[in-house]
């Protein structure tokens, strides 16, 4: 669901990309059939896409908010297409004046990198759009090295306008250009890839932490006899613990301070989330959260 067009030459570099993402949910065989028809150009509009998806019982979600191209500096532009599933597959193109690099990335590893110099055009897209765009570029691309960057931008804009009827493309798109040569081109690419891997590490940790938090939330006690009062404090039974906050790594306690009208030997229960003395209406208050032991 992507179209990225990148030009590089002695007059600079220009990159354009759409913003569309399409998510498919449903039977794998039907999903593959829908995707095949979408990518080979058989589906001509969003309306047709929704109709066929409904017929195949596939749920689709269309979002037009992902910026696939960006200006990395005043001398480098970059664009990315990706496929995220069990594995994360990415293709990136970096360009500066007179130079470009194409990278294949699998998860946290660069599996292939090609550096090209001089001038050229790189197109990322599904097979239908890629073919159509390359046919359009044949008419004018040979003149790009002699054209001002503004004219190249306008040509690329016209291509996006011409094909934005296609349901794999968003109606809006982004275009950036640079006219400087980056002497440390490969070093800048390396740093940007490191930032990607760092982001992926942070995302993994966030997912781990979220899982821990949800485990804790799901183990908060709503009902049950949880402990007894000894020496003015609540001593929890073996199956229960108290935590000071809902956090991936909370502090854990077995004996906690409580407030209320109670005496040693009283049994404390939780009923529908409220803590009280068993057999009475006397409430017990604490700053801790009672959970089943985990």
3-state SS, one letter per residue, for the chain? CCEEEEEEECCEEEEEEECCEEEEECCHHHHHHHHHHHHCCCCCCHHHHHHHHHHCCCEEEEECCCCCEEECCCCCEEEEEEEECCCEEEEEEEEECCEEEEEEEECCEEEEEEEEECCEEEEEECHHHHHHHHHHHHHHHHHHHHCCHHHHHHHHHHHHHHHCCCCCCCCCEEEEEECCCCCCHHHHHHHHHHHHHHHHHHHHHHHHHHHHHHHHHHCECCCEEEEEEECCEEEECCCEEEECCCCCCCCEECEEECEECCCCCCEEEEECCEEEECCCCCEEECCCEEEECC
- pLDDT band for position 104 (cuts 50, 70, 90): very high
- pTM of the entire structure? 0.77
CA distance 69 to 13: 13
- Parallel, antiparallel, or unpaired: how do β-strands 267-271 and 289-292 relate? unpaired
Q: Could you confirm whether domain 3-20+64-210 is CATH 3.40.1350.10?
A: no
Q: Is the pLDDT of residue 182 over 80?
A: yes
- pLDDT band for position 1 (cuts 50, 70, 90): low
Q: Is the pLDDT of residue 7 over 70?
A: yes
- pLDDT band for position 88 (cuts 50, 70, 90): confident
The residue among 203 and 188 whose pLDDT is bigger is 188
Q: Which two tokens stand for residue 164?
A: 């934005």
Q: Is the pLDDT of residue 74 over 90?
A: yes
Domain boundaries, the chain: 3-20+64-210, 224-292
The reported pLDDT for the residue numbered 87 is: 82
Please list the residues that pair with 270 across neighbouring strands: 224, 275
Report pLDDT digits (tens) over 225-256.
999 999 999 999 999 999 999 888 899 999 99
Report pLDDT digits (tens) over 9-64.
999 999 999 999 998 889 989 999 999 999 988 999 999 999 999 999 999 989 99
Mean pLDDT (the chain) is 93
Question: Is the CB of residue 74 less than 8 Å from the CB of residue 12?
Answer: no
Question: Is the CB of residue 168 less than 8 Å from the CB of residue 126?
Answer: yes
**Torsion on CA atoms 141, 143, 145, 151, rounded to nearest 10:** -80
Mean local confidence (pLDDT), 189-218: 91
The reported pLDDT for the residue numbered 247 is: 87
CA 232-240-225 angle, 5° bins:
70
Report pLDDT digits (tens) over 258-275.
999 999 999 999 998 899
The reported pLDDT for the residue numbered 273 is: 87
Share above pLDDT 90 across residues of the chain, in percent, rounded to a whole number: 79
**Torsion on CA atoms 129, 131, 135, 136, rounded to nearest 10:** 20
Cα Rg of the chain, angstroms: 29
The reported pLDDT for the residue numbered 203 is: 84
């Amino acid at each position: 669901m992507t179209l990225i067009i990148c030009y590089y030459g002695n007059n600079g570099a220009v990159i354009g990309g759409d913003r569309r993402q399409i998510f498919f949910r449903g039977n794998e065989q039907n999903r593959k059939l829908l995707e095949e028809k979408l990518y080979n150009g058989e589906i001509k509009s969003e309306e047709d896409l929704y109709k066929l998806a409904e017929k195949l019982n596939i749920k689709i979600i269309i979002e037009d908010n992902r910026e696939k191209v960006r200006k990395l500096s005043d001398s480098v532009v970059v664009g990315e297409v990706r496929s995220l599933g069990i594995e994360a597959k990415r293709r990136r193109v970096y360009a500066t004046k007179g130079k470009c690099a194409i990278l294949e990335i699998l998860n946290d590893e660069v599996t292939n990198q090609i550096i090209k110099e001089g001038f050229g055009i790189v197109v990322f897209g599904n097979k239908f759009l890629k073919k159509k765009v390359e046919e359009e570029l044949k008419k004018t691309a040979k003149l790009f090295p002699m054209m001002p960057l503004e004219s190249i931008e306008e040509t690329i804009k016209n291509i996006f306008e011409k094909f934005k009827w296609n349901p794999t493309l968003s109606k809006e798109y982004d275009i950036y250009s640079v006219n400087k040569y980056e002497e440390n081109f490969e070093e800048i690419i390396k740093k940007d890839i490191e930032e990607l891997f760092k982001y992926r590490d942070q995302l993994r940790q966030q997912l781990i932490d979220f899982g821990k938090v949800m485990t804790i939330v799901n183990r908060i006690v709503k009902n049950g006899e949880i402990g007894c009062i000894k020496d003015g404090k609540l001593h929890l039974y073996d199956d229960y613990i108290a935590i000071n906050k809902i956090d991936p790594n909370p502090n854990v306690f077995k004996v906690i301070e409580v407030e209320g009208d109670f005496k040693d030997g009283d049994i404390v229960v939780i009923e529908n989330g409220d803590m009280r003395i068993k057999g009475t209406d006397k409430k017990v208050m604490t700053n801790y959260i009672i959970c089943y032991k985990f």
